[in-house]
């Protein structure tokens, strides 16, 4: 009897061990799958809020998006902080404007991050300016001309039409990096294109009264907006791009308005408003603060709202 009981005990223990091993294997597989799902989302480093917003439209929950700058920051003047470098270190995709907009800080972030996945030339390095027709491409490069960009004016986000080719290219890049979710990205792009084209039609209809409207700009940051909506720029408040105007220069602009009057003066939300207010008060015109990026105003909560608010502010400036 003892021998028999001993045999049964051994068999029972063996079954228990076998079941434990199977259960352990199942649990391990489950945890592995769970871990894989948790970390499946692409880590995206977006230089400006508009590209973070576009990536969100196209990638949804397939991406973890970090935005390096805020809408109330001058994207030319950003410090390559350790926090930016740390975020870039773990990024799989970098989405920036390019065209030297980030030239003052992005090279440092890229170098110090040591992340080969997002270096120029890699699939993880995306520059939106490469996919649109650039305006104000200089015929010569001279520091005496101020903050001039060799590839052209980088403020491409003020023309809603530019987001269509950029979205197309960015979607393809997401698919390259995450082919398992190809169908999802294609569906997101199709939805965005449909909604965005309808929105452009609406915005252009609303903006009809703006065509030919003479405007002053504080910074040479609106050629794409002017080109899209037909605004006529008659003066700018910076003597050279990136250079603060003196009182005497503002006086000369004011005198020039006698020959070429303007209806409003435009400035981006992140800019110091004093030059615009100075000229607006003396010329008896309206200052229009354009959100310029997602988050630039309280109304500009996403890409669609950014242009809704831009059009409404411009129209209000006519009154």
Render pLDDT for 255-278 as a digit per residue (tens, 0 to 9).
999 999 999 999 999 999 999 999
| pLDDT higher at 115 or 242 | 115
- Name the least confident of 60-74, 234-248, 249-263: 234-248
The answer on pLDDT for 30 being more than 50 is no
Q: With a cut of 50, say whether residue 233 has pLDDT above it.
A: yes
User: Can you tell me the distance from the alpha carbon of 64 to that of 39, in angstroms, rounded to the nearest whole number?
Assistant: 10
- 163 token code pair: 């987001």
Instruction: Assess contact for 119 and 46: CB atoms under 8 A.
Output: no
> Comparing 25-29, 197-201, 224-228, 269-273, which segment has the lowest mean pLDDT?
25-29
Same domain, 99 and 160: yes
pLDDT at 9: 53
At residue 6, does pLDDT exceed 70? Answer: no
Q: pTM for the full model?
A: 0.85
Q: Specify the 3-state DSSP secondary structure of 96.
A: strand
> 166-187, pLDDT tens digit by residue?
999 999 999 999 999 999 999 9
The percentage of the chain sitting over the pLDDT mark of 90, rounded to a whole number, equals: 80
pLDDT confidence of 65, banded at 50, 70, 90? very high
Number of separate domains in the chain: 3
Q: Are 128 and 19 in contact (CB under 8 A)?
A: no
Residue 126 has pLDDT above 70, yes or no: yes
Residues 78 and 109 both lie in one domain: yes
* Same domain for 167 and 47: yes
Examine the fold and report which residue of 203, 226, 243 is the final residue of a domain before the chain moves on.
Answer: 203
More confident residue, 76 or 196: 196
Cβ neighbors of 125 (< 8 A, separation 6 or more) are: 94, 118, 119
Bridge partners, residue 67, by sequence:
46
Phi (first) and psi of residue 313, to 5 degrees: -70, -40
pLDDT at 1: 47
Closest CA to 51 of 135, 137, 148, 131: 131
Are 218 and 280 contained in the same domain? yes
Question: The domain containing residue 18 runs over which residues?
Answer: 1-38
Q: 148 and 108, same structural domain?
A: yes
Domain final residue pick, 160, 182, 203: 203
Whether 18 and 151 share a structural domain = no
Identify the CATH number of the domain in which residue 307 sits. 3.40.50.1980
Q: What is the pLDDT of residues 93-114, one digit of tens each?
A: 999 999 999 999 999 999 999 9
Cα radius of gyration (the chain): 27
User: Are residues 55 and 303 in contact, defined by beta-carbon separation less than 8 angstroms?
Assistant: no
C-beta of residue 272 within 8 angstroms of C-beta of residue 219: no
Is the Cβ–Cβ distance between 273 and 289 less than 8 Å?
yes
Judge if 47 and 127 occupy the same domain.
yes
| Claim to verify: residue 302 and residue 249 sit in the same structural domain | yes
Q: Give residue 12's pLDDT.
A: 54
Domain boundary among 184, 203, 222: 203
Same domain, residue pair 60 and 180:
yes
Output the six-digit token pair for 92: 């799989």
Please tell me whether residues 195 and 47 are part of one structural domain: yes
Same domain for 57 and 181, yes or no, is: yes
Residues 196 and 181 in one domain: yes
pLDDT at 162: 98
């Amino acid at each position: 009897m003892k021998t028999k009981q001993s045999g049964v005990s051994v068999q029972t223990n063996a079954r228990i061990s076998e079941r434990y091993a199977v259960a352990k294997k199942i649990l391990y597989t489950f945890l592995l799958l769970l871990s894989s799902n948790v970390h499946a989302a692409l880590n995206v480093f977006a230089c400006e809020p508009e590209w973070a917003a576009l990536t969100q439209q196209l990638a949804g929950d397939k991406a973890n998006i970090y935005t390096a700058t805020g809408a109330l920051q001058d994207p030319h003047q950003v410090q390559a902080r350790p926090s930016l470098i740390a975020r870039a270190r773990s990024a799989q995709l970098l989405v920036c404007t390019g065209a030297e907009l980030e030239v003052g800080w992005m090279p440092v972030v890229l170098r110090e991050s040591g992340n080969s996945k997002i270096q120029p030339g890699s699939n993880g390095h995306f520059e939106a300016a490469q996919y649109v027709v650039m305006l104000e491409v200089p015929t010569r490069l001279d520091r005496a001309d101020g903050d001039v960009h060799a590839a052209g004016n980088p403020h491409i986000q003020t023309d809603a039409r530019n987001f269509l080719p950029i979205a197309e290219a960015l979607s393809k890049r997401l698919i390259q990096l995450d082919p398992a979710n190809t169908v999802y990205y294609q569906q997101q792009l199709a939805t965005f294109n449909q909604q965005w084209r309808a929105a452009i039609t609406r915005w252009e209809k609303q903006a009809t009264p703006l065509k030919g409207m003479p405007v002053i700009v504080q910074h040479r940051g609106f050629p794409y907006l002017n080109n899209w909506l037909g605004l006529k720029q008659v003066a700018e408040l910076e003597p050279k791009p990136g250079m603060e105007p003196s009182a005497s220069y503002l006086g000369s602009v004011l005198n020039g308005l006698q020959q070429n009057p303007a209806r409003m003066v435009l400035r981006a939300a992140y800019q110091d408003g004093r030059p615009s207010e100075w000229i607006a008060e003396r010329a008896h015109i309206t200052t229009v603060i354009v959100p310029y990026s997602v988050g630039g105003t309280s109304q500009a909560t996403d890409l669609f709202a950014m242009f809704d608010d831009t059009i409404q502010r411009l129209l209000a400036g006519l009154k």
